[in-house]
Amino acid sequence: MVSSSSFFQFLLVALTCVGLGSAYVGPGVVSGSTGTHDPTICKDKDGTYFLFATAVGISITTSTDRTAFTYQGLVWPNGASWTDEYTLTSNGNLWAPECYYDGSQFWLYYAASSFGSQNSAIFLATSSTGAPGSWTNKGLVTSTSTGDSYNAIDPNLYIDGSTWYLSLGSWWTGIKMIKLNSSTGLSSGSSVTSLAQRTAASGAIEASSIYKYGSYYYLFTSWDVCCSGTSSTYNIRVGRSTSISGTYYDKSGVSLLSGGGTLVLESHDAIYGPGGQDILEDGDGPILVYHYYTSAGSFLGINRLDFSTGWPVRKRRKYPSGLSDHYLQVVA
């Protein structure tokens, strides 16, 4: 006869094997308005999650539980004419926003460009509520033009103590970082630091995101090709450094300035080209927010991250004690 405690032991082992047996954690259980591209996520003082993403006018989606998402509208419902000289069209797509909520106000960085062009700019907007149409245009943060060594897209804010940094960039000579004025949120000088660069794959690296855990800064990037439906080859890479300005190294000790980058997430099963990521420090720890493609479009993925080994891995299902927490909600 099998005692109940050994039965539960068996159940635990069996379920753990199911959890660990699959090669990858899935993109998390999310519902509602989950179509997205290059998402960034912030939480306001009431605990509401705001997800901003690439769109004409920049889309706003909210959630009260990080699971069910509801589309709200646009940051710029009446257009953003100041971006037209970079999108080269009237009211064009605005790319890869980055949000920060300071306790009373949202700060939103976003890029205006066109595919394959260095005629690009990063702008700043602010809002106290985050609601559609509530935003103030704070103007240009930084820009590039043809012939520059990098491309002013994909902004990511990191506040280190009282110093504001913006990492940015893609392709060409890779990921850069500039300092911002912490009272205006705009650029505070002309110095540009290089954080990561590839020569492989035509230098395809973008979508930087910096997160600090323990004594290390972790620099996440997306490699390869972003936006090709189920042919998208985006994959999320990471390196770490004890200084925000580098040098960042991957797990094998290769500098991120020399093509290093440890794999965090790549295409698997029917999930194609995960990337365009952001990291939110939430009540249950760091969470990775990204998009991925299926044959039906691009969708929101959310996974909790575990940095306990010194290198981030996506948390797996935890049975049975985790059934009531976000393990199940975000890694199923």
Ligand X SMILES: *[C@@H]1O[C@H](CO)[C@@H](O)[C@H](O)[C@H]1NC(C)=O
Catalytic residue ranges: 38, 206
Structure tokens at 171: 């392709």
**How far apart are CB 126 and ligand X at their closest, in Å?**
14
For the chain, the straight-line distance linking the first and the last C-alpha, in angstroms and rounded, comes to 33
- Residue nearest ligand X (C-beta atom): 181
Site mask for ligand X (CB under 6 A), range 123-162, x = bound = ----------------------------------------
Look at residue 258 and give its three-state secondary structure: helix
Look at residue 7 and give its three-state secondary structure: helix
Site mask for ligand X (CB under 6 A), range 174-203, x = bound = -------x-xx---x---------------
**How far apart are CB 80 and ligand X at their closest, in Å?**
23
**How far apart are CB 82 and ligand X at their closest, in Å?**
19
Residue 109 CA: distances (Å) to CA of 5, 27, 37, 121, 308: 54, 25, 15, 10, 31
**Given the complex with ligand X, which of 137 and 188 has the nearer CB atom?**
188
**How far apart are CB 181 and ligand X at their closest, in Å?**
4
- Residues with Cβ < 8 Å from 19, sequence gap 6 or more? 316, 317, 318, 319
Residue 129 CA: distances (Å) to CA of 41, 44, 55, 101, 231: 14, 8, 20, 10, 38
**How far apart are CB 182 and ligand X at their closest, in Å?**
8
Look at residue 329 and give its three-state secondary structure: helix
Using only the alpha carbons of the chain, give its radius of gyration.
20
Look at residue 83 and give its three-state secondary structure: helix
Site mask for ligand X (CB under 6 A), range 87-106, x = bound = --------------------
**How far apart are CB 186 and ligand X at their closest, in Å?**
8
Residue 255 CA: distances (Å) to CA of 43, 195, 198, 248: 33, 9, 10, 6
**Given the complex with ligand X, which of 183 and 190 has the nearer CB atom?**
183
**Given the complex with ligand X, which of 142 and 222 has the nearer CB atom?**
142
**What is the SS3 assignment for 36-60?**
CCCCEEEECCCCCEEEEECEECCEE
**Given the complex with ligand X, which of 9 and 184 has the nearer CB atom?**
184
Q: Are 144 and 152 in contact (CB under 8 A)?
A: yes
**How far apart are CB 232 and ligand X at their closest, in Å?**
40
- Number of residues counted as binding ligand X (CB under 6 A): 4
**Given the complex with ligand X, which of 183 and 295 has the nearer CB atom?**
183
**Given the complex with ligand X, which of 164 and 171 has the nearer CB atom?**
164
- Residues with Cβ < 8 Å from 113, sequence gap 6 or more? 86, 87, 95, 119, 120, 121, 151, 152, 153
**Given the complex with ligand X, which of 114 and 188 has the nearer CB atom?**
188
Q: Which residues pair with 276 in a beta bridge?
A: none
Residue ranges in contact with ligand X by CB under 6 A? 181, 183-184, 188
